[in-house]
C-alpha cells in the first residue's frame, strides 16, 4: 500500500470524528430564558386583562382584554420562535419588546390618571413599534425609503398627539379600541385647556395618521410586488395579516380624527380582529420559510441521489434558491482561497458573509460556499438547507472518488509487486539457465568425451558411467527447479503452450481444452498460469482419487478466461479446504485486475473460473468465432 492510500484511510477516520452530534441548532430542549419569557408573558397578559376589566375606564373591556392577551401571547411566542429559529437575527427581540409595549398600553385601562397617561403613551409606543416591525421585517433595521413612513409615524406623535396631550383635558388615544368614552380620567399632563387648538391638532394628527397608514400600506404593497419569490414566501403571511390592521388604522384616523364621527361597535370589532391577527404573521412567515427550506432539502436530497456532477449541483442550487446568479465556490485550504467549479479564484468579502455568501464545512473546516443574492441573506434556513445538501452531495462524490482512488492505487501497487516478483523469478530462471545449467551441461559433455577415451569396459569406465548418471540426475533436478521458478515456455510461447505442457506432465488424468489466446502482459500470464496450477493441485489434493480434472483456456472479445473443474467430492464441502490456496488464487487474480469465482457443491465437484480483461496493449489478435 502506498502512502497516499494510507493518508486517505486516515482521512476517513477523521471524517467520522468531524460530525458534531450535539449541534445547538437541533433538538435542544426548552431553555430557561424561554420559560421566563413564557411566564412573564402569562403574567403580563393576566395583569393587562385584569387592569382593563377592573379599571372601569374602557368602554368595551372584554374585547380590549381579548386583544391585549392575544397580542401579548402572540408577540411572546413569535419572539421565542424567532430567537430560536434565527439566533443571528434580533427580530425576535423586537417582537418581545413590542409585547412589553403592548402590555404597557394596557395601563390605559386604569382609572388612575397618571397610570392612564402612561398607558396611552405605551399605546403610542406600541403603534410606532409595530410600524418599525413592519418596515424592518425580516431584518431589524429600518432603511431607505421606509424612513419616510417611519418619519410620518413619529411626526404623527410629535406634531399631532403630543400637543394634543398638553391641550386636552382628557387623553382619548388613537387606538380606537381602548378609548375611554366618557369615563376617561383627568389628563395630568394638561397644560392649557384650549379646545380650539386641540381640535386643530387633532386634525393635523388625523391627516398625518392617514398618511402614515397609507404610506405603510403603499410601502408593504410595493415591497411585496418587487420582492423575489424567495422573499415573498416570508413577506406574504406578514403582509397578509398586517395589511388589514394598517388599513383599519388609516380608516380609523380618517373617520375619527378628520370626520369626527365616533367609532361604532362594528368598527371597533373589526379593528380588534385585525389587531389580534396582525402579530401572527411574523410567526407564520418564519414557519413558512422553514417549511420551504425543509421541502427544498428533501427536493435536493432526491435529486442528488447518485453521483451528480458539480455543475448539476450548482444548477439545483440555483433552482431551489430561485437565484439564477447563485454559485457554488470551493475552498482550497492550501492556497486559502475560494475557486469556482472551473477553478477560477473567487474573492468573497468577509463583510458580506451571511448576506451575499454563506460558507459550509465540517466543524471549523470550510469546504464550500454558496454565493447568493443579497435578499437570500434574509432566508438563512433555505441557504443553509441548500448549502448542507450541496456539501453532502459533494462529500459523497469526494468520498467515492477517494475510495476508488485508493482502491486503484492499491491495485496498481499490488500489480507492480506481482509484476516485479514474476520478473524476478524469470530473471532467476534465466540466470540458472545461462549460468550453472550451462556449466553443468558443458561438464557433462566433457565427461562424455572422457568416457569415450576411457573405453567401454573396465573399472574406470564403470565409475565414469556412474558419474554420468549422477550428473544427469543433477541436471534433471536443476531443470525441474528452474522450471518451477519460472516456466520458460510461459515467457517464450505464452499461456496455451505453457498450460499444454502442464497438462502433458500432469500425474492424474486431465482433459485439456486450450485455445490460442494470444499474448497478455507477463504479470497477467503469470497470474493465470499459477492460478491454474494451484487449482489443479487443489483437485489432486481434495477432489478424491477418482476425480478427473478439466482445464480450459479460452477468450471472448473482452477477456481471457480459464476454468479448472473436477467431478470430485466438492472442494468447499471440506472444512478448512477454503484456505491459503484459494486466497492465493484470489490475490493473484485481484492483483492484475482479474476476477476469480469458485463454484462447488458436495458431490458435484468444484469449478474455479477466472477472468482477466484484455487490454489495448495485449497481442491477442481478433476473435475468430464470436
Partner 1 sequence: MSSTPELAERKGVYRLVVAEDAYLIREGIRSALEREVEEVEVLEYCPDLGSLLRAVEADPPDVVITDIRMPPTNSDEGIQAAATLRKEHPAIGVVVISHYVSPHYALKLFEDGSAGRAYLLKEHVGHRIQLMEAIREVAAGGSVVDPKVVDVLVEARMRAKNSLLSRLSAREREVLAGVATGASNAAIAESLFLTKRAVEKNINSLFAKLDLTDDKTTSRRVRAALLFLADSDLEAGPDL
600 forms bridges with which residues in the sheet?
606
Residue 305 C-beta: closest distance to partner 1, Å: 54
598: three-class secondary structure by DSSP: strand
Q: Which residues contact 142 (CB under 8 A, 6 or more apart)?
A: 132, 135, 136, 150
The angle, 0 to 180 degrees and rounded to 10, between the axes of the packed helices 195-226 and 113-136 is: 20
Single residue of 303, 362, 500, 599 touching partner 1 by CB under 8 A: 500
Our finding on whether 438 is near partner 1 (CB under 8 A) is yes
Q: What is the DSSP string of 86-125?
A: -TT-SHHHHHHHHHHHHHHHGGGG-SSHHHHHHHHHHHHH
- Taking the C-alpha atoms of residue 40 and residue 46, their distance in angstroms, rounded to an integer, is 10
Residue 7 C-beta: closest distance to partner 1, Å: 43
Q: What is the DSSP string of 123-144?
A: HHHHHHHHHHHHHHTTSSS--T
Q: Are 514 and 499 contacting, i.e. CB atoms less than 8 angstroms apart?
A: yes
Contact pattern from residue 359 through residue 398 relative to partner 1, giving x for each residue in contact according to CB under 8 A and a dash for the rest: ----------------------------------------
Closer by beta carbon to partner 1, 222 or else 511: 511
Cell 441573506, residue located: 377
Taking the CB of residue 377, how many other CB atoms lie within 10 A of it? 18
Q: For partner 1, which stretch binds (CB under 8 A), given 166-174, 384-392, 440-448, 587-595?
A: 440-448
What is the H or E stretch that residue 23 is in? none
Q: Exposed (0-12), middle (13-18) or buried (19+): which is 263, by Cβ within 10 Å?
A: middle
List the alpha helices (DSSP H) in 259-346: 265-277, 280-303, 310-321
Closer by beta carbon to partner 1, 491 or else 577: 491
Closer by beta carbon to partner 1, 243 or else 539: 539
Our finding on whether 189 is near partner 1 (CB under 8 A) is no
**Size of the chain in residues:** 626
Our finding on whether 232 is near partner 1 (CB under 8 A) is no
Closer by beta carbon to partner 1, 339 or else 465: 465
Residue 476 C-beta: closest distance to partner 1, Å: 8
CA atoms within 13 A of residue 40's CA, in its CB half-sphere:
16
Single residue of 56, 195, 455, 509 touching partner 1 by CB under 8 A: 509
559: three-class secondary structure by DSSP: strand
- Taking the C-alpha atoms of residue 447 and residue 471, their distance in angstroms, rounded to an integer, is 9
Q: For partner 1, which stretch binds (CB under 8 A), given 297-305, 359-367, 378-386, 509-517?
A: 509-517
* 3-state class percentages of the chain: helix first, strand second, coil last, to nearest 5: 65, 10, 25
Q: For partner 1, which stretch binds (CB under 8 A), given 129-137, 384-392, 439-447, 589-597?
A: 439-447
Contact pattern from residue 449 through residue 488 relative to partner 1, giving x for each residue in contact according to CB under 8 A and a dash for the rest: x-xx------------------xx--x---x--------x
Site size with partner 1, rule: CB under 8 A? 40
Taking the CB of residue 146, how many other CB atoms lie within 10 A of it? 19
Q: Are 394 and 415 contacting, i.e. CB atoms less than 8 angstroms apart?
A: no
CA 69 to chain centre: 43
Single residue of 37, 97, 389, 510 touching partner 1 by CB under 8 A: 510
Closer by beta carbon to partner 1, 449 or else 616: 449
Closer by beta carbon to partner 1, 397 or else 451: 451
Our finding on whether 302 is near partner 1 (CB under 8 A) is no
Closer by beta carbon to partner 1, 9 or else 448: 448
Single residue of 353, 434, 477, 556 touching partner 1 by CB under 8 A: 434
- Taking the C-alpha atoms of residue 161 and residue 180, their distance in angstroms, rounded to an integer, is 16
Our finding on whether 340 is near partner 1 (CB under 8 A) is no
Our finding on whether 244 is near partner 1 (CB under 8 A) is no
- Maximal CA-CA distance, the chain: 164
Single residue of 54, 511, 537, 583 touching partner 1 by CB under 8 A: 511
Q: For partner 1, which stretch binds (CB under 8 A), given 7-15, 46-54, 248-256, 510-518?
A: 510-518
Q: For partner 1, which stretch binds (CB under 8 A), given 1-9, 21-29, 83-91, 490-498?
A: 490-498
Our finding on whether 504 is near partner 1 (CB under 8 A) is yes
Closer by beta carbon to partner 1, 211 or else 532: 532
Our finding on whether 400 is near partner 1 (CB under 8 A) is no
Taking the CB of residue 449, how many other CB atoms lie within 10 A of it? 9
- Taking the C-alpha atoms of residue 213 and residue 271, their distance in angstroms, rounded to an integer, is 14
Q: For partner 1, which stretch binds (CB under 8 A), given 77-85, 196-204, 239-247, 437-445?
A: 437-445
Closer by beta carbon to partner 1, 60 or else 566: 566
Q: What is the DSSP string of 532-551?
A: HHHHHHHHHHHS-TT--EEE
Q: For partner 1, which stretch binds (CB under 8 A), given 137-145, 269-277, 379-387, 502-510?
A: 502-510
Using alpha carbons, list the distances in angstroms from residue 185 to 55, 113, 115, 192, 560: 10, 5, 10, 17, 106
Closer by beta carbon to partner 1, 327 or else 444: 444
CA atoms within 13 A of residue 557's CA, in its CB half-sphere:
2
554: three-class secondary structure by DSSP: strand
Closer by beta carbon to partner 1, 23 or else 456: 456
Single residue of 512, 572, 609, 623 touching partner 1 by CB under 8 A: 512
Q: Are 592 and 415 contacting, i.e. CB atoms less than 8 angstroms apart?
A: yes
Our finding on whether 425 is near partner 1 (CB under 8 A) is no
Angle (CA) 481 483 471, round 5°: 50
Closer by beta carbon to partner 1, 300 or else 569: 569
DSSP code at position 353: B
Single residue of 2, 93, 439, 537 touching partner 1 by CB under 8 A: 439
Our finding on whether 492 is near partner 1 (CB under 8 A) is yes
Our finding on whether 311 is near partner 1 (CB under 8 A) is no
Residue 343 C-beta: closest distance to partner 1, Å: 49
Our finding on whether 442 is near partner 1 (CB under 8 A) is yes
Strands 357-362 and 365-371: antiparallel
Our finding on whether 550 is near partner 1 (CB under 8 A) is no
Our finding on whether 619 is near partner 1 (CB under 8 A) is no
Residue 433 C-beta: closest distance to partner 1, Å: 6
Closer by beta carbon to partner 1, 439 or else 583: 439
**Which residues of the shown chain bind partner 1 in the complex (CB under 8 A)?**
430, 433-434, 437-442, 444-449, 451-452, 471-472, 475, 479, 488-489, 491-493, 497, 500-501, 503-513
Amino acid at each position: 500500500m502506498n502512502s497516499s492510500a494510507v493518508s486517505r484511510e486516515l482521512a476517513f477516520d477523521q471524517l467520522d470524528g468531524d460530525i458534531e452530534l450535539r449541534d445547538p441548532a437541533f433538538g435542544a430542549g426548552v431553555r430557561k430564558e424561554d420559560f421566563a419569557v413564557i411566564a412573564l408573558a402569562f403574567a403580563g397578559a393576566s395583569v393587562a386583562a385584569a387592569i382593563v376589566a377592573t379599571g372601569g375606564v374602557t368602554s368595551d373591556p372584554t374585547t380590549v382584554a381579548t386583544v391585549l392577551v392575544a397580542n401579548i401571547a402572540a408577540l411572546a411566542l413569535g419572539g421565542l420562535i424567532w430567537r430560536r429559529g434565527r439566533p443571528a437575527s434580533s427580530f425576535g427581540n423586537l417582537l418581545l419588546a413590542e409585547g412589553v409595549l403592548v402590555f404597557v398600553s394596557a395601563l390605559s385601562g386604569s382609572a388612575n390618571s397618571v397610570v392612564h397617561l402612561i398607558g396611552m403613551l405605551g399605546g403610542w409606543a406600541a403603534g410606532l413599534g409595530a410600524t418599525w416591525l413592519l418596515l424592518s421585517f425580516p431584518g431589524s433595521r429600518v432603511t431607505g425609503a421606509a424612513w419616510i413612513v417611519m418619519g410620518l409615524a413619529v411626526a404623527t406623535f410629535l406634531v399631532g398627539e403630543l400637543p394634543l396631550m398638553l391641550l386636552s383635558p382628557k387623553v382619548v388615544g388613537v387606538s380606537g379600541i381602548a378609548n375611554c368614552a366618557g369615563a376617561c380620567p383627568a389628563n395630568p399632563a394638561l397644560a392649557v385647556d384650549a379646545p380650539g387648538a386641540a381640535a386643530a391638532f387633532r386634525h393635523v394628527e388625523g391627516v398625518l395618521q392617514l398618511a402614515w397608514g397609507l404610506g405603510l400600506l403603499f410601502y408593504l404593497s410595493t415591497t411585496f410586488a418587487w420582492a423575489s419569490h424567495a422573499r415573498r414566501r416570508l413577506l406574504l403571511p406578514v403582509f397578509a395579516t398586517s395589511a388589514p390592521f394598517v388599513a383599519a388604522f388609516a380608516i380609523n384616523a380618517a373617520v375619527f380624527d378628520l370626520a369626527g364621527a365616533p367609532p361604532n361597535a362594528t368598527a371597533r370589532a373589526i379593528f380588534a380582529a385585525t389587531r389580534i391577527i396582525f402579530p401572527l404573521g411574523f410567526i407564520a412567515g418564519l414557519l413558512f420559510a422553514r417549511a420551504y427550506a425543509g421541502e427544498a432539502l428533501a427536493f435536493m436530497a432526491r435529486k442528488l441521489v447518485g453521483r451528480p456532477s458539480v455543475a448539476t449541483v450548482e444548477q439545483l442550487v440555483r433552482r431551489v434558491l430561485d437565484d439564477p446568479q447563485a454559485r457554488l465556490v470551493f475552498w482550497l485550504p492550501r492556497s486559502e482561497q475560494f475557486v469556482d467549479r472551473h477553478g477560477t479564484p473567487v474573492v468573497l468579502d468577509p463583510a458580506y458573509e451571511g448576506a451575499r455568501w454563506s460558507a459550509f464545512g465540517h466543524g471549523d473546516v470550510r469546504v464550500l460556499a454558496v454565493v447568493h443574492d443579497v435578499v437570500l441573506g434574509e432566508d438563512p434556513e433555505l441557504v443553509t438547507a441548500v448549502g448542507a445538501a450541496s456539501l453532502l452531495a459533494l462529500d459523497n462524490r469526494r468520498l467515492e472518488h477517494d475510495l476508488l482512488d485508493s482502491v486503484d492505487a492499491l491495485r496498481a501497487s499490488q500489480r507492480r509487486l506481482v509484476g516485479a516478483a514474476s520478473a524476478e523469478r524469470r530473471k532467476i530462471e534465466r540466470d540458472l539457465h545461462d549460468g550453472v545449467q550451462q556449466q553443468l551441461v558443458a561438464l557433462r559433455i566433457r565427461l562424455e568425451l572422457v568416457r569415450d577415451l576411457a573405453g567401454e569396459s573396465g573399472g574406470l569406465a564403470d565409475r565414469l558411467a556412474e558419474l554420468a548418471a549422477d550428473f544427469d540426475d543433477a541436471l534433471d533436478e536443476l531443470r525441474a527447479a528452474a522450471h518451477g521458478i519460472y516456466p520458460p515456455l510461459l515467457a517464450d510461447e505464452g499461456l496455451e503452450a505453457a498450460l499444454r505442457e502442464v497438462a502433458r506432465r500432469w500425474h492424474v488424468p486431465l482433459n485439456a481444452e486450450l485455445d490460442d489466446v494470444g499474448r497478455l502482459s507477463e504479470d497477467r500470464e503469470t497470474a493465470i498460469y499459477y492460478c491454474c496450477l494451484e487449482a489443479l493441485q487443489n483437485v489432486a489434493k481434495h477432489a478424491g482419487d477418482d476425480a478427473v480434472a478439466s482445464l480450459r483456456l479460452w477468450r471472448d472479445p473482452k477477456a481471457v478466461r480459464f476454468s479448472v473443474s473436477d467431478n470430485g467430492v466438492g472442494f468447499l464441502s471440506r472444512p478448512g479446504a477454503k484456505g491459503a490456496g484459494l486466497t492465493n488464487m484470489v490475490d493473484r487474480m485481484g492483483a492484475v485486475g482479474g476476477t476469480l469465482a469458485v463454484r462447488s457443491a458436495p458431490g458435484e465437484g468444484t469449478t474455479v473460473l477466472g477472468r482477466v480483461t484484455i487490454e489495448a496493449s495485449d497481442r491477442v489478435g481478433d476473435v475468430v468465432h464470436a
